[in-house]
Amino acid sequence: MTLQGARERWVRTGGVELCVAELGDEAQPTVVLVHGYPDSKEVWSEVAARLAERFHVVLYDVRGHGRSTAPRPLRGGFTLEKLTDDFLAVADAVSPDRPVHLVGHDWGSVQAWEFTTVKRTEGRIASFTSMSGPSLDHFGHWIKKRVSHPTPRRVGQLLGQGAKSWYVYLLHTPVLPELAWRGPLGTQWPKILRRLEKVPAGDYPTPSLPTDAAHGAWLYRDNVRARLRRPRTDAYAHAPVQLVTPLGDTFLSEKLCDELERWAPQLVRRTLPAKHWIPRTRPDQLTAWITEFVTAVEGGRPTPVTDGPYADRFGGQLVLVTGAGSGIGRATAFAFAEAGARVVAVDRDAESAARTAELSRLIGAPEAWAETVDVSDEQAMEKLAEKVAAEYGVVDVLVNNAGIGLSGSFFDTTTEDWRNVLDVNLWGVIHGCRLFGKQMTERGQGGHIVNTASAAAYLPSKALPAYSTSKAAVLMLSECLRAELAGQGIGVSAICPGFINTGITSTARFTGVDADEEKRRQKKSARLYGLRNYPPEKVADAVLRAVVRNQAVVPVTAEARGGRLMSRFTPRALRAIARMEPPL
Amino acid sequence: MTSAVAPPGELTAELRGFREVQRLAYECAEAVAAQLKPGVTEREAARMQREWLRERGVRDWFHLPFAWFGDRTAFVGFRIPLQFFPTNRRLEAGMPFILDLAPVHKGYTADIGYSGSLGLNPVQDKLLADLEAHRELILREVRERRPLREIYEDVDRLMVRQGYANRHRAYPFGVIAHKVDRVKERRWSPHLFGFGTQSLKGLASDAIHGHRDGWSPLWSPYKFSDHPPQPGLWAVEPHLGFRGTGAKFEEILVVTDSRDPEQSAFWLDDDLPHVRRWAEDK
Ligand SMILES: NC(=O)c1ccc[n+]([C@@H]2O[C@H](COP(=O)([O-])OP(=O)(O)OC[C@H]3O[C@@H](n4cnc5c(N)ncnc54)[C@H](O)[C@@H]3O)[C@@H](O)[C@H]2O)c1
């Protein structure tokens, strides 16, 4: 079926026969993918195909699932001890001489935690990437701690996770789950996945689903109660662990992993905005993180550091920033670089873009490139989009930031002036959203677009008619696009800064005055912005926060926030201010 | 003193006196830097500098030695001047540090800044390399007799272009440089907030005289620095910051009233650790 080009073999162990599939070059490090409930190994088809370009990829159907046979009797046939036997049998068959890299999702991760924390597998596991499946032992201790020392917060956490575990109680009832899965739930499940979990349609789930789900109920019945009541006290990981947490998981609370460093000292944390079935919905991101982690462990290099702010979220992601040669754009590129993102610094000024890329590499970007492009040039932007997709990949976060200033009365603003400012400030954003947003939607694995608007977008002023118009357009464009892309896991944010101390004042154009007077006004406004002294780095922080929290409109600085409130509640006062002469 | 340049290439006795104490100060910084180990605190590093120089006869200070470790090299989160004083912050592998010391020796003052790191620190290396352009820019524009305030702004612009933040703005009055002078040797030389009272007296009297004549011994971004370079000795200290890492140098620039551009301003000494380092990197 979906595992194209896979080599199959059967491994006999403990009274069952396991169906094992292999992809990729056997000389490369072995990555073993373990599926969850109710799934079969095909849940990994997208990830496996991608990983196979670099690794020897091994998948197997857990006993009683997919094409592997089920133990007889079922009761007592799914204990973690037996599942560990199965894993060792598979590992010995596919990689007898070298330890393997484990990857588990959901119940596959629950099992793999057991593999990684019991003595008898020591030396057989090189690393473990865990997704949405805690160790039952760690979970048991987590509950115990909260029950024995209840504080209001801990009780809240207990109730929170308790509510998310409703299905676990249901699965403990006899016979009913089996009936449901073999009946209506089994037929409806693909639709449910698509509707609620946004899992793309296709050849997943497989026809074996009703049996997988019925048998898999014994995973819970055989293990959950026993382990939660008497969790092992020695469940320490003997291999480096990478923890991938989808923030929109409806079954597991993030809080479960708060104290994980105690059990897994070399923990690398990753988070992503997605729901539970990330092997289906985010295969590119998972492949990138697994590849990075496995390569680091294999190379004996320190595992990626993810303790900077937001490094768990942006590590390894591809971020493109326009206007990255100065001010807010440059600070934003640096902030993403510090979080471990790969950075494309775009600016029409080649030298400053190159500088941004160079310094980005110094402070944590694994890779950074400079691209010299004028964002208002449609063809150049098209070329850029093609090049980026071909050479660096699909952009995960796009920051349309390039912009220019223009000040002067409406009647002093020539059509040429209008064209200039709209070409850069509005069309630049349109081109960026159109080209890179399209690549994001076509990939179908989420992403985020940030547009730098301005507080001028909602604060009228007789001194800034053209600039404010362009920014108001950017703000509205962002809101509309946000509505359109909401269903595809792509967020859109508009950032509205107030007065930020950047170079924009010395390059802004002042219409209706001669060159000397323009110079004087540039200097004067530069000094005023300098006195306000709000650093672009703080705007950059707001940009990263906006992406992490998927905020729609983010005013930055007190004047921008205050202005936003006034535009809602006292618009007449703003109109009065709009008529004042600027102090230049 | 101010026109005190002997035949080209040679220094007057007075300038030799300043150069000697400046060299002594840099020697001290290099000696202390070589002894820094993981776990040493800023206070200990400051005391090591004091003791090293005491043993070599230094009794008075323009200011007591400073030591900044880690993100304190970029003055992250500094709001009040007391934060400049050495703390119990401990040095760790890879951390950047800055030693800043200003001894008075035989009546001559030095004020120097030495940047380094414990082991490799590529970010600070880059900052240090990029300071070279500032040393050149400052000398060139002083020779052109540009107003100090404008030179300050040009340094600022260069820093921003390089992608860095101006950290000398954090110093009192935001100065990039201040005048230094000879100091009378006294048996007892108390300090006030870490500054030698003798030197403070010198600065204050300069400030009073300068105020009358329209110049200031402090080279700042403010209006009172809107005047061409004033002859004398200036301790110049451009200080770059980049995301929690800082680097600076500090050394004496001699300004004279000579009409010959070369003689009108020059660095007191070109044989200093940072200058040698730039030469080696080429
Ligand atoms: N500085 C402020 O006070 C402020 C306030 C609100 C909004 N903004 C917006 O923030 C954004 C960034 O501004 P900044 O303050 O950092 O300004 P900046 O001038 O420091 O940086 C803008 C950068 O964009 C580049 N750029 C300009 N036109 C371009 C084009 N056509 N193609 C490619 N690159 C181009 C410039 O070369 C420069 O490097 C702008 O959109 C601006 O309108 C700034």
Q: pLDDT of A543-584, one tens digit each?
A: 999 999 999 999 999 999 999 999 999 999 999 999 998 887
Query: Any bridge partners for residue B11, and if so which?
Result: B5
CA-atom Rg of chain B in angstroms: 18
Helix A209-229 to helix A184-197 angle (10° resolution) is 80
What is the rounded average pLDDT for all residues in chain A?
Answer: 94
In whole angstroms, what is the distance from residue A571 CA to residue A378 CA?
A: 37
- pLDDT given for residue B4 in this prediction: 46
- pLDDT given for residue A540 in this prediction: 98
pLDDT tier for residue B269 given thresholds of 50, 70 and 90:
very high
Structural tokens at position A189: 């499940």
For the segment(s) B13-281, the CATH number from 3.90.230.10, 3.30.70.1560, 3.30.450.20, 2.60.40.10 is 3.90.230.10
- pLDDT given for residue A305 in this prediction: 63
The binding-site residues of ligand 1, defined as CB within 6 angstroms of any ligand atom, are: A 322-323, 325-329, 347-349, 352, 374-376, 401-404, 424, 428, 452, 454, 497, 499-500, 502-504, 507, 536
A503 vs B122, B160, B242: nearest CB: B160
Contact A316, A342 (CB under 8 A): yes
- pLDDT given for residue A274 in this prediction: 94
Alpha helices in A99-208 (DSSP H): 107-117, 136-148, 152-164, 166-172, 176-182, 184-197
pLDDT at A310 over 50: yes
pLDDT at B1 over 80: no
CB contact under 8 A, B126 and A356: no
In whole angstroms, what is the distance from residue B62 CA to residue B191 CA?
A: 9
Query: Any bridge partners for residue A21, and if so which?
Result: A8, A59
Per-residue pLDDT tens over the stretch B174-198: 899 999 988 887 767 777 778 888 7
Residues A285-306, mean pLDDT to the nearest whole number: 86
Contact A127, A240 (CB under 8 A): yes
Q: Which ligand 1 atom is at minimum distance from the Cα of A467? A: 43
Query: Any bridge partners for residue A374, and if so which?
Result: none
Structural tokens at position B2: 């101010």
pLDDT tier for residue A301 given thresholds of 50, 70 and 90:
confident
For chain A, the distance separating the N- and C-terminal CA atoms, rounded to the nearest angstrom, is 71
Which DSSP string do the residues of A206-253 spell out, in sequence order? -TTHHHHHHHHHHHHHHHHHHHHHS--S----SS-EEEEEETT-SS--
In whole angstroms, what is the distance from residue A306 CA to residue A511 CA?
A: 48
Lowest pLDDT segment from A294-298, A365-369, B4-8, B130-134 = B4-8
Alpha helices in A272-396 (DSSP H): 278-281, 283-298, 311-314, 327-338, 350-362, 378-391
In order of A103, B194, B204, B208, the CA distances from B201 in angstroms are 71, 14, 5, 11
pLDDT tier for residue A397 given thresholds of 50, 70 and 90:
very high
Residues A37-52, mean pLDDT to the nearest whole number: 95
In order of A163, A317, A357, A358, the CA distances from A361 in angstroms are 44, 14, 6, 5
A363 CB within 8 Å of a chain B CB: yes
CB contact under 8 A, B163 and A356: yes
In whole angstroms, what is the distance from residue B241 CA to residue B77 CA?
A: 12
B163 CB within 8 Å of a chain A CB: yes
Which DSSP string do the residues of A411-437 spell out, in sequence order? GG--HHHHHHHHIIIIIHHHHHHHHHH
Closest approach of chain A CAs to the CA of B165, in angstroms? 10
- pLDDT given for residue B9 in this prediction: 59
B129 CB within 8 Å of a chain A CB: no
**Residue A467 annotated among the catalytic residues of the structure:** yes
Residues in chain A: 584
Element (H, E) at B159: helix B148-162
Q: Which ligand 1 atom is at minimum distance from the Cα of A330? A: 16
Per-residue pLDDT tens over the stretch B46-94: 999 999 999 999 999 999 999 999 999 999 988 888 899 999 999 999 9
Distance of CA A313 to the CA centre of its chain: 5
Question: Which residues fall within 8 angstroms of residue A574, CB to CB, at 6 or more apart?
Answer: A459, A460, A563, A566, A567
Residue A86 burial (CB < 10 Å; 0-12/13-18/19+)? buried
Per-residue pLDDT tens over the stretch A162-201: 888 888 888 888 888 899 999 889 889 999 898 888 888 8
Structural tokens at position A247: 């923030």
Place of tokens 């044989």: B271
In whole angstroms, what is the distance from residue B161 CA to residue B152 CA?
A: 14
In whole angstroms, what is the distance from residue B66 CA to residue B42 CA?
A: 8
A127 CB within 8 Å of a chain B CB: no
Best residue for ligand 1 mutational test, from A424, A458, A502 (most atoms within 8 Å of Cβ):
A502
- pLDDT given for residue B276 in this prediction: 96
pLDDT at A423 over 80: yes
pLDDT at A406 over 90: yes
Q: Measured between beta carbons, which residues in chain A are less than 8 angstroms from residue B126?
A: 359, 362
B243 vs A326, A334, A503: nearest CB: A334
A117 CB within 8 Å of a chain B CB: no
Q: Measured between beta carbons, which residues in chain B are less than 8 angstroms from residue A535?
A: 165
Domains of chain A: 7-298 (3.40.50.1820), 314-502+535-579 (3.40.50.720)
Which DSSP string do the residues of A478-524 spell out, in sequence order? HHHHHHHHGGGTEEEEEEEE-S--STHHHH-EETTS-HHHHHHHHHH
CB contact under 8 A, B163 and A330: yes
Expressed in angstroms and rounded, the spacing between residue B169 Cα and the centre of ligand 1 is 24
Contact A478, A494 (CB under 8 A): yes
In whole angstroms, what is the distance from residue B219 CA to residue B252 CA?
A: 13
Q: Measured between beta carbons, which residues in chain A are less than 8 angstroms from residue B123?
A: 362-363
Share of chain B above pLDDT 90, in %: 76
pLDDT at A3 over 50: yes
pLDDT at B8 over 60: no
Lowest pLDDT segment from A364-378, A569-583, B243-257 = A569-583
Neighbours of B247 (CB within 10 A): 31
Structural tokens at position A562: 């205050």
Closest approach of chain A CAs to the CA of B46, in angstroms? 29
Q: Which ligand 1 atom is at minimum distance from the Cα of A425? A: 41
- pLDDT given for residue B107 in this prediction: 92
- pLDDT given for residue B2 in this prediction: 44
Neighbours of B185 (CB within 10 A): 13
Q: How many CA atoms lie within 13 A of A232 on its CB side?
A: 17
In whole angstroms, what is the distance from residue A325 CA to residue A374 CA?
A: 12
Long-range contacts of A12-16 (CB under 8 A, 24+ apart): A12/A89, A13/A85, A13/A86, A13/A89, A14/A71, A14/A82, A14/A85, A14/A86, A14/A89, A15/A71, A15/A72, A16/A63, A16/A64, A16/A68, A16/A69, A16/A70, A16/A71, A16/A86
In whole angstroms, what is the distance from residue A383 CA to residue A438 CA?
A: 14
Residues A257-277, mean pLDDT to the nearest whole number: 90
Looking at residue B8, the DSSP 8-state letter turns out to be T
- Give a three-class secondary structure readout of B165-200: EECHHHCHHHCCEEEECCCCCCCCCCEECCEEHHHH
Neighbours of B139 (CB within 10 A): 15
Contact B100, B65 (CB under 8 A): yes
Closest to A335 (Cα-Cα) out of B126, B244, B69: B244
Neighbours of B205 (CB within 10 A): 12
Contact A156, A162 (CB under 8 A): no
Chain B residue with Cα closest to A333 = B163
- pLDDT given for residue A255 in this prediction: 79
Closest approach of chain A CAs to the CA of B91, in angstroms? 20
- State pTM to two decimals: 0.92
Element (H, E) at A400: strand A397-400
pLDDT at B277 over 70: yes
CB contact under 8 A, B123 and A330: no
pLDDT tier for residue B3 given thresholds of 50, 70 and 90:
very low
- pLDDT given for residue A306 in this prediction: 57
The angle at the Cα of A224, spanning A222 to A229, to the nearest 5 degrees, equals 115
Q: Which amino acid appears at position B158 of this protein?
A: L
Residues A2-27, mean pLDDT to the nearest whole number: 93
Expressed in angstroms and rounded, the spacing between residue A503 Cα and the centre of ligand 1 is 8
Looking at residue A396, the DSSP 8-state letter turns out to be S
Question: Which residues fall within 8 angstroms of residue A166, CB to CB, at 6 or more apart?
Answer: none
Mutate to test the interface with B, among A334, A362, A500, A524 (most CBs of B within 10 A): A362
Q: Of residues A37, A458, A467, A529, which has the active-site annotation?
A: A467
Residues A136-165, mean pLDDT to the nearest whole number: 89
Share of chain A above pLDDT 70, in %: 98
Residues A493-500, mean pLDDT to the nearest whole number: 97
